[in-house]
């Protein structure tokens, strides 16, 4: 089946390795007209389903990212894979994949090889060395001895600016652009949490030796969501809509005990403490609904084991999809606590915090940003704007200096606050000290992270089938909402009477915004239907000789191959309605069959 699938993908240029005429580059892919259209539709659907429907805020940040940003986020140090080198040929292998391939079993499930339940992917350098010597692993190509494992940073490096320039990377994920904008986004949202930010865009990973086609690309499209929670909150206001959703969970415990996945509802899983909180569970449900909408069938959620998770993460679940490569991670979901905001705050001295107003003022005294602008204006005149900014910054800070000042106030000592403004130390009359009206805190964040190319690939594989047992008659049974074209216009023959009607309806379709392809080739009608089936076009409108007499045309549905006769004036609106889910359920193929005569 996979072979037949690959043939169609290649023959119809759905996707293809890039720059093939120049020799090609592994891990880079081109999307042809069909693939590009399907992927655009998936992106649109994602935006509607997540951003518009949940009222998220979307941002777009550059791929080029300065060294210091990714140093703050930990990527410069830790975004690595272990690599081993063939000592004779110099060829490089990714250590974990080599071990997995060599052992030809998932170590995790094989008690003989290891008492720990672990995957090669989470091994330390020492464990990899150990595994290589234990299993006598040698180069896959030459059988030669392998070098010691070395960490290889997966980020593409470049420089920006003239001559030597400054060091930059291509972002390995889109999320950092959201974290670095946190303050502005919170302000945009009126200072209120929860707040949900999304970003869709390219990310880049210089994989050591990419295989598995679209599943492991060096340049790929992500859609990431950062859901920032209010202090102490772990719920989600719309969780009630998800509580009854049934999901297939492959929990940490099940993996450790060698048990199978099990079905439960999201509400139950939170109650049982399997999923850490409602907010994370809400997004698992939302993700599953979206994957189903893209026609993906076999979905499970696999929880990360303790060895897989970063130290700061509270809980992680991967949405995995079963395809011909096995279970493939398509969406990651992580409760990342407040790690990222904290790291950037520490690196920049800009506090990425939110303010929580107490219900009742509390007694403890703190420095507070009740700034008397009139007083400051009088005292500092031209520089008063800078002074106010310095004060606001100071007041947001909860560091030692602020505490010392507060302590001093409590003890009745300092009358003035000393702040550096433009290289000069100024004495500023003490801001007021009163009741504590609230406190600053780093918000916790829940992050669903979609690999859109993997989602695209799985949608295609799950949509692919053959009619009967005929491997020549392949169909892409894609959901109408993501099909590459919504409709195809055909003439039964290229007869002079028929073609004007074909063009007229095609023009009408285009005017209505229906993405309609015209096939005016000379191939017979059956062959042309087959071509459309192969690339997943859900509807075909054919003008035949009866059309010249009674003004009707045939409308064919891809999966059932059923046809109805429809007056030509009605067909553009009918096709448009059939294609736009939101105008259903009044308009469905079943309804069309009742309304119009079958052929």
Paired tokens of 232: 């102490």
Note whether 158 binds a copy of itself by CB under 8 A. Answer: yes
For the bound state, the minimum distance from the C-beta of residue 597 to a copy of itself, rounded and expressed in Å, comes to 30
- Interface of this chain with a copy of itself, residues 280 to 309, rule: CB under 8 A: none
Note whether 177 binds a copy of itself by CB under 8 A. Answer: yes
Q: Which residues contact 168 (CB under 8 A, 6 or more apart)?
A: 64, 65, 66, 67, 157, 158, 159, 160
Q: Closer to a copy of itself by CB, 85 or 556: give it.
A: 85
- Interface of this chain with a copy of itself, residues 343 to 372, rule: CB under 8 A: 344, 347-348, 350, 352
Given a contact cutoff of 8 angstroms between Cβ atoms, the answer to whether 131 and 146 are in contact is: no
Q: Closer to a copy of itself by CB, 341 or 498: give it.
A: 341
Given a contact cutoff of 8 angstroms between Cβ atoms, the answer to whether 195 and 57 are in contact is: yes
Note whether 457 binds a copy of itself by CB under 8 A. Answer: no
Omega within 30 of 0 (cis) for the link into 418: no
Note whether 530 binds a copy of itself by CB under 8 A. Answer: no
Given a contact cutoff of 8 angstroms between Cβ atoms, the answer to whether 58 and 200 are in contact is: yes
- Interface of this chain with a copy of itself, residues 223 to 282, rule: CB under 8 A: none
14-39: string of b/e by CB count within 10 Å (b at 16+)? bbeebeeeeeeeebebebbebbebbb
Number of residues that bind a copy of itself (CB under 8 A): 86
**Helix intervals (H) in 411-524:** 452-463, 498-511
Euclidean distance between CA atoms 193 and 309, whole angstroms:
26
Note whether 185 binds a copy of itself by CB under 8 A. Answer: yes
For the bound state, the minimum distance from the C-beta of residue 176 to a copy of itself, rounded and expressed in Å, comes to 9
Note whether 144 binds a copy of itself by CB under 8 A. Answer: no
For the bound state, the minimum distance from the C-beta of residue 316 to a copy of itself, rounded and expressed in Å, comes to 27
Note whether 517 binds a copy of itself by CB under 8 A. Answer: yes
Note whether 190 binds a copy of itself by CB under 8 A. Answer: yes
For the bound state, the minimum distance from the C-beta of residue 158 to a copy of itself, rounded and expressed in Å, comes to 5
Euclidean distance between CA atoms 26 and 37, whole angstroms:
23
Euclidean distance between CA atoms 557 and 541, whole angstroms:
9
Note whether 165 binds a copy of itself by CB under 8 A. Answer: yes
Omega within 30 of 0 (cis) for the link into 599: no
Taking CB under 8 A as the criterion, the residue among 76, 101, 122, 156 binding a copy of itself is 156
List C-alpha distances in Å: 2 to 30, 150, 173, 322, 323: 20, 35, 30, 13, 10
For the bound state, the minimum distance from the C-beta of residue 204 to a copy of itself, rounded and expressed in Å, comes to 7
Nearest of 140, 26, 131, 149 to residue 89 by alpha carbon:
140
Note whether 521 binds a copy of itself by CB under 8 A. Answer: yes
Euclidean distance between CA atoms 20 and 420, whole angstroms:
59
- Interface of this chain with a copy of itself, residues 51 to 80, rule: CB under 8 A: 52-53, 55, 57-66, 68-69, 72
Q: Closer to a copy of itself by CB, 4 or 53: give it.
A: 53
Note whether 173 binds a copy of itself by CB under 8 A. Answer: no
For the bound state, the minimum distance from the C-beta of residue 301 to a copy of itself, rounded and expressed in Å, comes to 26
Taking CB under 8 A as the criterion, the residue among 4, 6, 7, 48 binding a copy of itself is 48
Chain center to CA of 165? 32
For the bound state, the minimum distance from the C-beta of residue 205 to a copy of itself, rounded and expressed in Å, comes to 11
Given a contact cutoff of 8 angstroms between Cβ atoms, the answer to whether 149 and 128 are in contact is: yes
Note whether 30 binds a copy of itself by CB under 8 A. Answer: yes
Paired tokens of 92: 């490089």
- Interface of this chain with a copy of itself, residues 554 to 583, rule: CB under 8 A: 582
For the bound state, the minimum distance from the C-beta of residue 254 to a copy of itself, rounded and expressed in Å, comes to 36
Quote the Cα angle for 338-341-345, to 5°: 130
Given a contact cutoff of 8 angstroms between Cβ atoms, the answer to whether 46 and 223 are in contact is: yes
For the bound state, the minimum distance from the C-beta of residue 250 to a copy of itself, rounded and expressed in Å, comes to 32
Given a contact cutoff of 8 angstroms between Cβ atoms, the answer to whether 439 and 358 are in contact is: yes
Paired tokens of 417: 């606050």
Note whether 216 binds a copy of itself by CB under 8 A. Answer: no
For the bound state, the minimum distance from the C-beta of residue 240 to a copy of itself, rounded and expressed in Å, comes to 13
Taking CB under 8 A as the criterion, the residue among 113, 119, 145, 183 binding a copy of itself is 183
Binding segment for a copy of itself (CB under 8 A), chosen from 107-115, 185-193, 246-254, 391-399, is: 185-193
Paired tokens of 140: 């896959």
Q: Which stretch of DSSP H or E encloses residue 145?
A: none
Output DSSP code: residue 21. Answer: G
Q: Closer to a copy of itself by CB, 57 or 313: give it.
A: 57
Q: Closer to a copy of itself by CB, 462 or 517: give it.
A: 517
Note whether 393 binds a copy of itself by CB under 8 A. Answer: no
Euclidean distance between CA atoms 543 and 477, whole angstroms:
24
For the bound state, the minimum distance from the C-beta of residue 379 to a copy of itself, rounded and expressed in Å, comes to 26
- Interface of this chain with a copy of itself, residues 79 to 108, rule: CB under 8 A: 83, 85, 92
Euclidean distance between CA atoms 5 and 325, whole angstroms:
13
Q: Closer to a copy of itself by CB, 252 or 454: give it.
A: 454
Paired tokens of 460: 């295609």
**Side by side, which strands form the sheet with 563-567?**
516-519, 487-491, 539-543, 552-557, 563-567
Note whether 12 binds a copy of itself by CB under 8 A. Answer: yes
Given a contact cutoff of 8 angstroms between Cβ atoms, the answer to whether 248 and 292 are in contact is: no
Note whether 161 binds a copy of itself by CB under 8 A. Answer: yes
Quote the Cα angle for 131-134-136, to 5°: 95
Taking CB under 8 A as the criterion, the residue among 145, 365, 467, 510 binding a copy of itself is 510
For the bound state, the minimum distance from the C-beta of residue 64 to a copy of itself, rounded and expressed in Å, comes to 5
For the bound state, the minimum distance from the C-beta of residue 105 to a copy of itself, rounded and expressed in Å, comes to 26
Note whether 31 binds a copy of itself by CB under 8 A. Answer: yes
For the bound state, the minimum distance from the C-beta of residue 217 to a copy of itself, rounded and expressed in Å, comes to 8
Note whether 399 binds a copy of itself by CB under 8 A. Answer: no
């Amino acid at each position: 089946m996979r072979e037949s699938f690959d043939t169609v993908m290649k023959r119809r240029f759905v996707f293809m390795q890039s720059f093939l005429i120049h020799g090609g580059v592994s891990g880079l892919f081109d999307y042809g007209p069909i693939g590009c259209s399907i992927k655009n539709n998936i992106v649109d659907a994602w935006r509607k389903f997540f951003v518009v429907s949940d009222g998220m805020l979307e941002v777009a940040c550059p791929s080029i990212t300065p060294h210091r940003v990714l140093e703050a986020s930990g990527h410069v140090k830790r975004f690595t894979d272990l690599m081993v080198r063939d000592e004779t040929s110099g060829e490089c292998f990714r250590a974990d994949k080599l071990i997995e391939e060599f052992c030809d079993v998932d170590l995790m499930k094989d008690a003989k090889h290891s008492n720990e339940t672990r995957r090669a992917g989470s091994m330390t350098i020492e464990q990899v060395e150990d595994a290589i010597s234990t299993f006598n692993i040698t180069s896959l190509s030459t059988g030669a001895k392998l070098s010691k494992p070395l960490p290889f940073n997966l980020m593409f490096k470049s420089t920006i600016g003239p001559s030597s320039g400054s060091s930059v990377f291509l972002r390995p994920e889109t999320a950092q652009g959201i974290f670095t904008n946190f303050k502005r986004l919170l302000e945009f949202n009126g200072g209120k949490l929860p707040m949900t930010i999304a970003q869709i865009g390219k990310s880049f990973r210089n994989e050591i030796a990419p295989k598995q086609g679209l599943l492991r690309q060096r340049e790929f499209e992500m859609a990431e969501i950062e859901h920032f929670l209010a202090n102490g909150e772990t719920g989600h206001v719309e969780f009630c809509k998800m509580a009854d959703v049934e999901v297939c969970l492959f929990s940490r415990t099940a993996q450790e005990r060698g048990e199978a996945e099990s079905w439960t509802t999201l509400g139950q899983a939170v109650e049982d403490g399997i999923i850490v909180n409602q907010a994370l569970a809400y997004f698992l449900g939302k993700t599953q609904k979206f994957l189903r909408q893209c026609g993906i069938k076999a979905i499970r959620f696999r929880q990360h084991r303790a060895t897989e998770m970063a130290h700061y993460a509270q809980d992680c679940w991967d949405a995995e999809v079963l395809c011909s490569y096995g279970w493939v991670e398509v969406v990651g979901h992580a409760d990342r606590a407040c790690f990222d905001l904290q790291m950037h705050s520490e690196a920049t001295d800009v506090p990425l915090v939110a303010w929580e107003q107490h219900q009742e003022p509390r007694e403890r005294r703190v420095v507070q940003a009740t700034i008397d602008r009139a007083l400051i204006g009088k005292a500092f005149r031209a520089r008063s704007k800078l002074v106010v900014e310095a004060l606001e910054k100071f007041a947001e800070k909860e560091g030692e200096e602020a505490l010392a000042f507060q302590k001093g106030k409590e003890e009745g000592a300092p009358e003035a606050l000393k702040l550096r403004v433009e290289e000069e130390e100024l004495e500023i009359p003490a801001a007021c000290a009163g009741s504590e009206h609230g406190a600053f805190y780093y918000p916790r964040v829940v992050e669903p992270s979609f690999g859109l190319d993997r989602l695209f690939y799985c949608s295609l594989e799950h949509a692919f089938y053959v009619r009967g047992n005929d491997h020549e008659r392949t169909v892409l049974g894609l959901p109408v909402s993501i099909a590459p074209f919504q409709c195809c216009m055909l003439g039964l023959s290229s007869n002079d009477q028929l073609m004007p009607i074909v063009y007229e309806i095609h023009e009408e379709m285009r005017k209505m915004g229906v993405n309609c392809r015209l096939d005016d080739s000379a191939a017979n009608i059956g062959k042309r239907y087959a071509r459309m089936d192969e690339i997943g076009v859900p509807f075909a409108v054919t003008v035949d000789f009866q059309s010249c007499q009674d003004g009707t045309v045939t409308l064919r549905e891809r999966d059932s191959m059923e046809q109805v006769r429809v007056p030509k004036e009605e067909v553009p609106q009918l096709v448009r309605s059939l294609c736009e889910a939101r105008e259903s359920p009044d308009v469905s193929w079943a309804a069309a069959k009742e309304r119009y005569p079958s052929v």
